[in-house]
Structure 1
Amino acid sequence: MEAGDIAQHTSRRYNEELEGIRSRVLAMGGAVEDQIDQAMRALVGADSQLAEEVVAADHRINMQEVTLDEECNRILARRQPAAGDLRLIITILKIITDLERVGDESCKIARMAAQLSQMERSPHCYQALEHLAARARAMLTDALDAFARMDPRAALQVVHADEEVDREYEAIWRQNITFMMEDPRTIRRMLDIIWCARALERVGDHSRNIAEYVIFLVGGRDVRHISLQEMRAAVDRLHPPEPSAP
Structure 2
Amino acid sequence: MDKVGLEKHTSKQFDADLEDVRELVLAMGGLVEQQIADAVRALITGEGALGEEVVQGDTEVNRMEVEIDEECTRILARRAPQAGDLRLIIAVAKTITDLERIGDEAEKIGRMSTHLASYDRPKSAFYQIEMLGRHVREMLRDALDAFARLDSEAALRVAQQDEDVDREYEGIVRQCITYMMEDPRTIRHMLDVLWAVKALERIGDHSTNISEYVVYFVEGKDVRHIGLEAMEKEINEGAARRRGD
Regarding TM over 0.5, the answer is: yes
After TM superposition, the structure 1 stretch with the greater mean CA deviation from structure 2, 191-200 or 91-100, is 191-200
> 1:204 is matched with which residue?
204
Q: Is the 1:153–1:235 contact (alpha carbons within 8 Å) kept by the matching residues of 2?
A: yes
Cα distance in 2 between the residues matched to 1:177 and 1:241: 51
Q: Aligned pair 1:131/2:124, yes or no?
A: no
> 1:195 is matched with which residue?
195
Question: In structure 2, what residue type is equivalent to 1:91?
Answer: A
CA deviation after TM superposition for structure 1 residue 185, in Å: 1.0
Cα distance in 1 between the residues matched to 2:225 and 2:193: 30
Q: Aligned pair 1:223/2:227, yes or no?
A: no
Consecutive unaligned residues of structure 1, counting only runs of 5 or more, are: none
> 1:102 is matched with which residue?
102
> 1:160 is matched with which residue?
160
CA deviation after TM superposition for structure 1 residue 113, in Å: 0.2
Cα distance in 2 between the residues matched to 1:164 and 1:225: 22
Point out 4+ residue stretches in structure 1 off by more than 2 angstroms.
Answer: 120-125, 225-228, 233-243
After TM superposition, the structure 1 stretch with the greater mean CA deviation from structure 2, 183-192 or 221-230, is 221-230
> 1:57 is matched with which residue?
57
Secondary structure of the residue aligned to 2:211 is helix
Cα distance in 1 between the residues matched to 2:121 and 2:157: 36
Q: Judging changes above 3 Å, is the alpha-carbon distance between structure 1 residues 142 and 241 closer, same or farther for their aligned structure 2 residues? A: farther
Q: Judging changes above 3 Å, is the alpha-carbon distance between structure 1 residues 209 and 71 closer, same or farther for their aligned structure 2 residues? A: same
CA deviation after TM superposition for structure 1 residue 125, in Å: 4.2
Cα distance in 2 between the residues matched to 1:91 and 1:170: 31
Q: Is the 1:46–1:117 contact (alpha carbons within 8 Å) kept by the matching residues of 2?
A: yes
CA deviation after TM superposition for structure 1 residue 196, in Å: 1.2
Q: Is the 1:7–1:19 contact (alpha carbons within 8 Å) kept by the matching residues of 2?
A: no
CA deviation after TM superposition for structure 1 residue 2, in Å: 4.8
Give the share of equivalent positions with the same residue, in percent: 54
Q: Aligned pair 1:21/2:21, yes or no?
A: yes
CA deviation after TM superposition for structure 1 residue 7, in Å: 4.7
CA deviation after TM superposition for structure 1 residue 241, in Å: 8.8
Question: In structure 2, what residue type is equivalent to 1:40?
Answer: V
Q: Is the 2:128–2:172 contact (alpha carbons within 8 Å) kept by the matching residues of 1?
A: yes
CA deviation after TM superposition for structure 1 residue 181, in Å: 1.6
CA deviation after TM superposition for structure 1 residue 88, in Å: 0.2
Question: In structure 2, what residue type is equivalent to 1:115?
Answer: H
> 1:82 is matched with which residue?
82
Q: Is the 1:54–1:110 contact (alpha carbons within 8 Å) kept by the matching residues of 2?
A: yes
Aligned-pair Cα RMSD in Å? 1.7
After TM superposition, the structure 1 stretch with the greater mean CA deviation from structure 2, 180-189 or 130-139, is 180-189
> 2:33 is matched with which residue?
33
Cα distance in 2 between the residues matched to 1:238 and 1:74: 34
| Matched residues, number | 242
Cα distance in 2 between the residues matched to 1:21 and 1:158: 23
Cα distance in 1 between the residues matched to 2:121 and 2:141: 31
CA deviation after TM superposition for structure 1 residue 233, in Å: 2.2
> 2:115 is matched with which residue?
115
Cα distance in 2 between the residues matched to 1:230 and 1:122: 42
Secondary structure of the residue aligned to 2:224 is coil
Question: In structure 2, what residue type is equivalent to 1:45?
Answer: T
Q: Is the 1:7–1:16 contact (alpha carbons within 8 Å) kept by the matching residues of 2?
A: no
Cα distance in 1 between the residues matched to 2:100 and 2:149: 21
Q: Is the 1:146–1:214 contact (alpha carbons within 8 Å) kept by the matching residues of 2?
A: yes
Q: Is the 1:215–1:235 contact (alpha carbons within 8 Å) kept by the matching residues of 2?
A: no
Structure number having the greater helix percentage: 2
Cα distance in 1 between the residues matched to 2:206 and 2:162: 10
Cα distance in 2 between the residues matched to 1:179 and 1:145: 38
